[in-house]
Amino acid sequence: MKKSPRSIERCKAVSMVQKILGGKWKIEILFYIAFRDVHRFGELRRCLGDITESSLTKQLRALESDGFLSRHDYQEIPPHVEYTLTDLGKSFLPVLEHMKQWGEENL
């Protein structure tokens, strides 16, 4: 007997990934840090184009809080802060590479 769509159990792993990385900019931020060697706030903002400073700050803080990025403040004037991938962030790179490849082939 075939299950109705309502009786199918929700996939918790996919749900958590979407909850953590589902923000408008998060995957693109991870892409630029990982594959384009962009690590500073201003560089990221230029790459992303129409993102506001407050949105970028919010997304970076969320990625840091969720363990994908680490933030290093050099305690300089003018401020010098860099973001790098953590081990968790690096473990997501194969998924990100596949997403990029799929997008290039299908979109």
pLDDT digits (tens, 9 = 90+) for 54-68: 999 999 999 999 999
The confidence band for 10, taking pLDDT boundaries of 50, 70 and 90, is confident
Residue 1 confidence (pLDDT) above 70: no
DSSP three-state, residue 29: helix
As a whole number of angstroms, the distance between CA 62 and CA 22 comes to: 11
23-57 per-position pLDDT tens digit: 899 999 999 999 999 999 999 999 999 999 999 99
Note the helical H segments in the chain. Answer: 12-21, 26-35, 41-48, 53-65, 87-91, 93-106
**Site of tokens 């201003």:** 42
Residue 5 covered by a domain: no
CATH number at residue 63: 1.10.10.10
Residue 8 covered by a domain: no
Q: Tokens representing 76?
A: 């300089």
The confidence band for 95, taking pLDDT boundaries of 50, 70 and 90, is very high
Find the domain containing 61 and state its range.
17-106
Residue 6 confidence (pLDDT) above 90: no
Residue 87 covered by a domain: yes
Residue 55 covered by a domain: yes
Residue 101 covered by a domain: yes
DSSP three-state, residue 42: helix
